[in-house]
Structure 1
């Protein structure tokens, strides 16, 4: 029996897509036009093919007059920062969840609840003591200071704990009978069975790291550590006339890496979010 298409649901979905796509389309169209036309308010929604080379030119553009770096360098810093945060969060969270789920030690649940309570404290609340700690360790204007305070993740720890608790006891006993130690059990069994969850977390955490603004703004006063998000804001707030076409081109370029990560890992990302046994 053929079901009739739900036209209302499709209409709502199409409307949602248009609402999300429209600002990106405006930025793409504006990037292909002249900065003077945009400053005059003559922004057209139709891209100009002759202006497409602006995306290549934008890679070498930056606030270099104030000691900044070009856009391609900012994107490299953002990519390394996002990778460091995502991989660091996954490594620390998976190991801490492994300890909480499979080991019995004093104050185990106290440690778990302390990790859980940190969900109530966003980065903005603990930004001053975090900055003070980084300053005391002389990590201001370093890549370590840029990434390390953002590595700990209570959310990822809770998700890994739920995945590990779903592992059958028979599998744990079989590993013990085969002589597998704790770390071999962790790497050879737990991580492979939580592959979809790992992929979903990596996508979420990569985008989280890529979009960071407040912490890099405080800790990276050296222009060589500017991220792409900071770079775009600096281009807009510069003393000179804003080159809006290059700013819009940089904005489109900044969207490409996270979109690529999401598309490349889409199948595992959706599986990690929809598997019911998690």
Structure 2
């Protein structure tokens, strides 16, 4: 029998709080800097309590525009990044779940060959095929468009593999029962597979949304117009080699606003995310 030490729980709590403080302090410090004036930030040490410029700094960033990125507001950057992240996440899930459905429940020539071709693309990330992909986007006139930001990143071999592995656990009796009830393939997919896949879809959505939100290399190549920049690209453009030329108060505001949506998605979908990763019985 395992005996519990009387000091074990307090020590564990102290260690957990200490670890949380170490992880959260840089974010808090960034928030504090986002509420200070530029002069305060350039004159260290920075205070450890928020300043009185919260409304001014956030209002200027969201609605006033930032000179170093062509006067584009952070609101526009957030919109562009949200469209890209949502488009990538939803597109990857839709394509992957339909691909896995076809591979598992349909019998057609070269079925497994197509699956392995999809699987092999794991070794060809966008960084490897970036030149031909960029050339295709130029030829199709998709530079500085949302389609150009989303379409090259919309396929996912990983999500297809995960859905395939889950679909293979569906009892054959369930498939036979659907056939007896005269349910067609799409009705079986809509009424049975989709409800059973909700937790998997939720878990993948969180992962893929963050993947799309944090993209840097592809948006850097495919966008020339500042109005089409994502927030990650804008953050890099806002920072100058000389501290005096960098609007650090607006950089800190942009950094906090860039962090907020992914954190919000994780918090709101935490229960579904955990269930989708660890739930064994469907």
The TM-score normalised by the length of structure 1 is 0.92
* Cross-structure match for 1:159: 162
Cα deviation digits, residues 57-100 of structure 1 (max 9, x gap): 32124334653521001101111111111110000000001011
Change (3 A) 1:17 1:61: farther
Alpha-carbon separation, structure 1, partners of 2:190 and 2:65: 43
- Give how far 1:238 is off: 8.1
Unaligned 5+ residue runs, structure 1? Answer: none
Number of aligned residue pairs: give it: 277
Distance 1:2 1:195 in 2: 40
Q: Does 1:132 align with 2:129?
A: no
Residue 264 of structure 2 corresponds to residue 237 of structure 1: no
Out of 98, 101, 121, the residue aligned to residue 101 of structure 2 is 98
Q: CA RMSD in A?
A: 2.1
Aligned partner of 1:52 among 43, 51, 54: 54
Alignment-derived partner of residue 13 in structure 1: 16
Offset at 1:26?
1.3
For residue 10 of structure 1, report the CA deviation from its aligned partner: 4.2
SS in 1 for 2:245: coil
How much does 1:266 deviate? 1.3
2:218 and 2:16 map into 1 onto residues whose CA distance is: 35
Q: Please list the CA deviations of residues 128-152 of structure 1 after superposition, one character each: whole Å capped at 9, or x if unmatched.
A: 1111111121211111011000100
Q: Distance in 2 between matches of 1:227 and 1:109?
A: 38
1:102-113 alignment, distance < 5 Å: 102-113=105-116
**Does the 8 Å contact 1:64/1:70 carry over to 2?**
no
Q: Within 1, Cα distance between the matches of 2:67 and 2:247? A: 14
